[in-house]
Structure 1
Amino acid sequence: MFESLKKKFSRTSDKLEEELIEEAQEENNLEEESGKKFSFFSFGKKDKKEEEDSKSDIAEIPQEVESISDEADTSDDEDSEDKKEKSGFWSFGKKSGDDKKEEPPEESPEEPQEEEPKKSRFWSKNKEEDSSEVEDDDSDDETEEKKSHFWNRSNDEDSEEDEEDEPGGMFSFITAKTISEKHLEDILWELEMGLLEGDVAMEVASAVVDSVKDDLVGRKIKRSNDITEYTYNALRNAVAEIIDIPGKSMTEMIEAKKAQGEPLVVMFVGINGTGKTTTIGKLANYYLKKGYTPVIAAADTFRAGAIEQVNYHADNVGVKLIKHQKGSDPAAVAFDAVEHAKAQGKELVLIDTAGRMQTNTNLMDEMKKIKRVAKPDLVVFVGDALTGNDATHQASKFNEAIDIDGVILTKADADSKGGASLSIGYVIKKPILFLGMGQGYDDIREYDADWMLNQLFSESGEEVTVDEV
């Protein structure tokens, strides 16, 4: 999902890195060092992996120390100084050329006397196994170089190389550089144009660019990996603020109405062809599986075949359909559905309305009449994510005409650009409630801003899943 936006974000990081390295090169302010360079999307997973690695290392230390303690306990009681010399933990820094060598334990006479005490792998994992060959100062210097934990992490034979890391040479700034506005001017302009090309609304693109600028200007850079990490975090924070529009979930509202002995009445609006009727079938199935009893109102009495279409979905999922003859009053159908739900103790009423363009004044007036009669608790706009900025424009017009309460985006799984998903809630200041993720009745999920953020900042092709609510 959202491949277009992912490429824009990654390109922004690459351009900033190119800009700063080129300037540092002109100032003769960089040197090349070997090591791993993280990709843009690796920073979202790096912290978790490093935490697991550190836990693994910590878990190994007590075992090392315990084995050393057991070995020391097998020998006769000696003075404390001799015990320290036998412990690999305390003697990791000793050279093989020390005058005093450790005596082997009495229980293991078969071990050669010249054998060095065991060394803790925690402290000596970057040292060569045969330290006895280190005799002169030059070789000592080489050993010290191998202790560098930042550039020689890949030398640890027990650590696995991350797939997202790119091995090889990279530039590291010798003296700190500071990101200034002049470094970002062209890069942020390119980012803004890229977001607009990705069907992101103008005000959303501007908000992202301004947030990234505020976050990055003044940042001190010491090595090129810092640029990638700072850019990743700046973009992620900017997007997180945009897509997280507060609002109650439909499930919470059903429970609140149920406590009052009333059904939750939901009216669906939108233009033809966005998947509005299919979405109603999906929601009926979704809440039926949650233990609620929905009823559907076939209030689209104008379009040929509309009643048959919604009747098909109602039969498939097994819910009651309230319908009148073609051409009858849509408001009357909606009213009857609400009364039926109240009489039968059903918790949810889903009202299907005729699709209409936001510019059709007569049809918009008819929609307002349905709202006056049925008194819905929620008015939900159903938009096609693939239409991008047009879906945002449609939602704005419907919101002006009838004051919608939330949005459902269909075909979100096929949306490679992500413009509508990023923009629509921020522009109309109303939450996204559900996302259509396929053609089956089970292919719908409650909107989760954290899930959306992970989708936008995951590597291409990577599956990111969050448990359904």
Structure 2
Amino acid sequence: MEEPRAGVVNGKENTSSNISAFDVSKLQKRTKGVKKTDTVVNKGSKPDPKKKATKKNRVWDDAPPEEKLDFTDPVDGNGSGNDNIEVVAANQGESMMDIEEIISSDSEGEVDDNVQKDSKPEAKKKGWFSSMFQSIAGKANLEKEDLEPALKALKDGLMTKNVAEEIAEKLCESVAASLEGKKLASFTRVSSTVRAAMEDALVHILTPRRSIDILRDVHAAKEQRKPYVVVFVGVNGVGKSTNLAKVAYWLLQHNVSVMMAACDTFRSGAVEQLRTHARRLQIPIFEKGYEKDPAIVAKEAIQEATRNGSDVVLVDTAGRMQDNEPLMRALSKLIYLNNPDLVLFVGEALVGNDAVDQLSKFNQKLADLSTSPTLRLIDGILLTKFDTIDDKVGAALSMVYLSGAPVMFVGCGQSYTDLKKLNVKSIVKTLLK
């Protein structure tokens, strides 16, 4: 009997067996093929050894680089430099001091709703009908307990924005005193009335008590044939030299001739730093090196500016802590001997109430150490790093409230154009947001 062939069952060809056998062999071949392909792809993903990228050797020769990055080339005695430096200074653009900032006004109801939300636990004591009737029909006289919920919410809000607690407390007390006993207008909520009074108080504080127009004063001094002198003071590391250069750049844009005076004769590298700014801005600098009396250096700088016809002298001083009596005495001597037109305190907005303490003690030390019957204190404030604080703008309010000196400049970046005016409406809006 003939043996059945493989793949034949009961006289029929077992096709499934053949297919199964065929598929396994095909699968093995395909699997091997895929592995080979993967291997090829992986090998192909590596760089060709013949075309392997190698680091180029540095060529040390006398050829100048394609693009000039160092702008501290030697300059002549008048502060002039090469063409590259002049291009850098000219391409900075318009100073932000001359750009009007547009503030978008939010609806008052939104802010009032926030105040109502914050004061809801206390407001519940009055009852819904009582508060609604009061807001529609008006009330004969506002009492202290009517104002307390909204004032507490505003005080807490001011403190979260870095306003010193005692200043926030005094502001609320003054607002309460101005509103207590007054009649609430019809269709007006207590929170709206309190907020409006607080807004008026904040605007009043931040608005300068005396008009300080540097450009106007510079031209007035020029008519008297003497330079306008600005002294920059402050603690260590707040950015006096950098922001002095920003002020110089702004003045240059208004066709004002500027000279820098390097009177930081204590810190190593301070004169070189100011010299770099002078070179980039193409303006003269008066320097006598280190370990000299800064008061005498400033006096000689003013005399030099008078001879060469410079309109403004910007005096850079050494950074000093407010408790350092020897350095504070030297600063008092500089101010007394030279009688500058403007004393600018440079403080960091980032440190918040520490800057308030610094400013207060600077004023106190200048008053205590003054040898003149006429006191010269801080005339204005320059706040640096204002772009790093988000809505924590309370330090500006606290500094102005305590010193009475206006915030004249706000530093908001690293370039020479990053100098702005303090927008009072913007600050008030942020504080009450």
1:375 deviates by 2.9
Mapped to 1, the partners of 2:408 and 2:418 lie a distance apart of: 14
Quick check: 1:317 aligned with 2:281?
yes
What does residue 95 of structure 2 align with? none
What does residue 45 of structure 1 align with? none
Please give the secondary structure, in 2, of the residue aligned with 1:390.
helix
Structure 1 or 2, whichever has the larger Rg, is 2
* Alpha carbons of structure 1 residues 10 and 429: separation in structure 2 relative to 1, 3 Å: farther
1:235 deviates by 1.9
1:255 deviates by 1.9
What does residue 126 of structure 1 align with? none
Quick check: 1:260 aligned with 2:224?
yes
What does residue 346 of structure 1 align with? 310
What does residue 382 of structure 2 align with? 408
Please give the secondary structure, in 1, of the residue aligned with 2:126.
helix
When the two chains are superposed, the root-mean-square deviation of aligned CA atoms in Å is: 3.1
What does residue 415 of structure 2 align with? 440
Mapped to 1, the partners of 2:143 and 2:126 lie a distance apart of: 12
Aligned positions of 1:105-254 closer than 5 A: 175-177=137-139, 179-217=142-180, 218-220=182-184, 222-223=186-187, 226-227=189-190, 229-247=192-210, 248-254=212-218
* Alpha carbons of structure 1 residues 454 and 196: separation in structure 2 relative to 1, 3 Å: closer
Mapped to 2, the partners of 1:404 and 1:398 lie a distance apart of: 8
Aligned positions of 1:272-421 closer than 5 A: 272-402=236-366, 403-415=377-389, 416-421=391-396
What does residue 397 of structure 2 align with? 422
* Alpha carbons of structure 1 residues 330 and 192: separation in structure 2 relative to 1, 3 Å: same
Please give the secondary structure, in 2, of the residue aligned with 1:23.
coil
Please give the secondary structure, in 2, of the residue aligned with 1:358.
coil
1:207 deviates by 3.2
Mapped to 2, the partners of 1:328 and 1:455 lie a distance apart of: 42
1:190 deviates by 4.6
Contact 1:386 1:414 in 2 (8 A): yes
Task: Give the TM-score of the pair, scaled to structure 1.
Answer: 0.60
2:383 maps to amino acid: L
Mapped to 2, the partners of 1:340 and 1:173 lie a distance apart of: 68
1:276 deviates by 0.7
2:213 maps to amino acid: S
Mapped to 1, the partners of 2:381 and 2:362 lie a distance apart of: 11
Mapped to 1, the partners of 2:431 and 2:343 lie a distance apart of: 36
* Alpha carbons of structure 1 residues 24 and 398: separation in structure 2 relative to 1, 3 Å: same
1:197 deviates by 4.4
Mapped to 1, the partners of 2:237 and 2:231 lie a distance apart of: 17
Please give the secondary structure, in 2, of the residue aligned with 1:391.
helix
Contact 1:24 1:173 in 2 (8 A): no
Q: What are the superposed Cα offsets for residues 131-159 of structure 1, whole Å, 9 maximum, x if unpaired?
A: xxxxxxxxxxxxxxxxxxxxxxxxxxxxx
Sequence identity of aligned pairs in percent? 34
1:30 deviates by 4.9
1:288 deviates by 0.6
What does residue 31 of structure 2 align with? none
